[in-house]
Structure 1
Amino acid sequence: MKKIATGLSLFFLLASCNSKTFKNNKITAKTTTIDSSITTTPAIDSTIAPYKKKLLSEINKVLTTSSKKLVRTDGELQSSLGNLMADMCYDIANPIFREKTGKNIDFAMFNYGGIRAGLPEGNITNRHAFELMPFENSLVVAELSGKKIEELVSYFIAGAKAHPLSKNIQLELQGSAYTLHIQGKPFDPNKTYTVLTSDYLQGGGDRMDFFKNPVQLTLLDYKVRDAIIKYFKSVTTLTPQLDQRVVVKN
């Protein structure tokens, strides 16, 4: 028994002598700029070639076609591209919102500056969808009071820009006066309205402060770009037009 105790004591003594505590005294980092100064090698090229081929195949995949070139500057306070942007986001988002809440979205509004590129006549690919919406913005629905809808219209008039509005809205302007219909009915300042937009704008982006502090905010967990791609895949040809959603009378 004495030998066993002596052996155990020796074991723990040796173990404690071999135990070391390490402490990190310094962390260093180096920034490497990835630009044309970095030269490639055959080994690197052969490694990335399969991934590059697959990526190019995906980005250049044709989703739909357009009957004409679409831009944000072909109308007064509306545009063919802006109309398309608002309408396709509405069409994709409304079923999601209805499933979550049992209600429909009243209309959609986005910002003129959020349209980052036009669409060509002919084939429309994934690349065009990414160029149109390069940001990671998500779709949200803000329930706004009648007062905030009035602020929205005042913002639209004062800015004099073709901010995308969906087909569910009819706004007739004459000087500083206006008449507004939503879902085919006259605007009621005592009601609340559900408005589809992006999380960026709902947070006050582009000074759209009327989206802040809504009566209710519903997150759809759906990227704007994903809605665009899904819509492109769902139609054979894009045929947006200028219409009566915004009318300017002299």
Structure 2
Amino acid sequence: MILKIKQIVIIITITCFFSCKQEKPVLTEISGKQIAVSDTLIATDSIEAFVAPYRNRINEILDSTIAYAPKDITKNDGILNTTAGNLMADAVLELAGPIFKSRTGSSLDFVLLNHGGIRSIISAGNVSARTAYEIMPFENTIVVVGLKGDAILEMVDYLIKAKRPHPLAGIQIILNKDDTINTIKIQGEDFDENKTYYVGTSNYLVNGGDRMDFFKKKLTFTETDYLIRNIMIDYFTKKNTIAPITDDRFIKLDY
């Protein structure tokens, strides 16, 4: 009888133990809803008070005038080169060139960027740092790659077929009426197919952007760590007045 009682007690104890054991929670459903960020949202006073000084300081810096544009600067005011494209490429050549020179001892020969990377116009009037963020909202940096002559010819062929005013500086390409090459000059000198040229461009393009596959033939690669946006801000500050023009850096003859 005592043995049976003990067995009953053990069974009851084990049953109670397992019945009281906490089960692990199991995720059975995920739900959510979209909340539009607009002026209908009610601000939290404490958060607003904390953020306000930082926001005001950032706006003060971004909206401070650093240059002046006598007229609108756009990426649509030329056929094969535009005022906005020429401005950006010239800025990169002038400001990234010394960095590349200091790191490698070599000179930056020319610059190629992409037309689609210019995201806004520069309106006539005061120019601020915020303008640079509007033109180049991406975190792209300038890199410099070494390309042999055959890759440069592939690049020129790409530009001819693209028929878009991709930003260029330091190189001149003149086409005949039938789209054949008339002249290629780099830094004012005739193109030498046997030479290695150092080309400044964006990390986006080197990594396959816009299908610029000729960059795959790069012999050297140097990262400047210089954001294109910061180059624009520094260039605006340095020049004070910005008035780029369309010119003969990339043109097609009509005869």
TM-score range, shorter chain: 0.7 to 0.9
- In the TM superposition, residue 30 of structure 1 has moved relative to its aligned partner by 8.6
Taking the aligned partners of 1:184 and 1:213, their CA distance within structure 2 comes to: 24
Equivalent position to 1:220, from 206, 224, 227: 224
| 3-state SS of paired residue (2:168) | coil
* Mapped pair 1:211 → 2:219: no
Equivalent residue runs for 1:4-83 within 5 Å: 33=35, 35-36=37-38, 38-83=41-86
| 3-state SS of paired residue (1:142) | strand
Structure 2 residue aligned with 1:129:
132
Structure 1 residue aligned with 2:143:
140
Q: TM-score, normalised by structure 2?
A: 0.83
| 3-state SS of paired residue (1:237) | coil
Q: 1:184 to 1:26 in 2, by over 3 A?
A: farther
Structure 1 residue aligned with 2:19:
none
> What is the aligned length?
226
For structure 1, the 5+ residue unaligned runs are 1-23
CA offset digits 1:15-41 (Å, max 9, x no partner): xxxxxxxxx977999978461353113
* Mapped pair 1:170 → 2:172: yes
Taking the aligned partners of 1:148 and 1:25, their CA distance within structure 2 comes to: 60
* Mapped pair 1:236 → 2:249: no
CA offset digits 1:50-72 (Å, max 9, x no partner): 12211211221111111211001
Taking the aligned partners of 2:92 and 2:50, their CA distance within structure 1 comes to: 39
Contact 2:151 2:217 in 1 (8 A): no
CA offset digits 1:73-112 (Å, max 9, x no partner): 1112000110001000111100000001111111000011
Which amino acid in the other structure matches residue 230 of structure 1? D
Report the aligned-residue RMSD.
2.0
Structure 1 residue aligned with 2:114:
111
For structure 2, the 5+ residue unaligned runs are 1-23
Taking the aligned partners of 1:63 and 1:186, their CA distance within structure 2 comes to: 38
| 3-state SS of paired residue (1:84) | helix
| 3-state SS of paired residue (1:206) | helix
Taking the aligned partners of 1:143 and 1:110, their CA distance within structure 2 comes to: 15
| 3-state SS of paired residue (1:157) | helix
CA offset digits 1:200-228 (Å, max 9, x no partner): 00111011111124011111111111111
Identity of aligned residues (%): 39
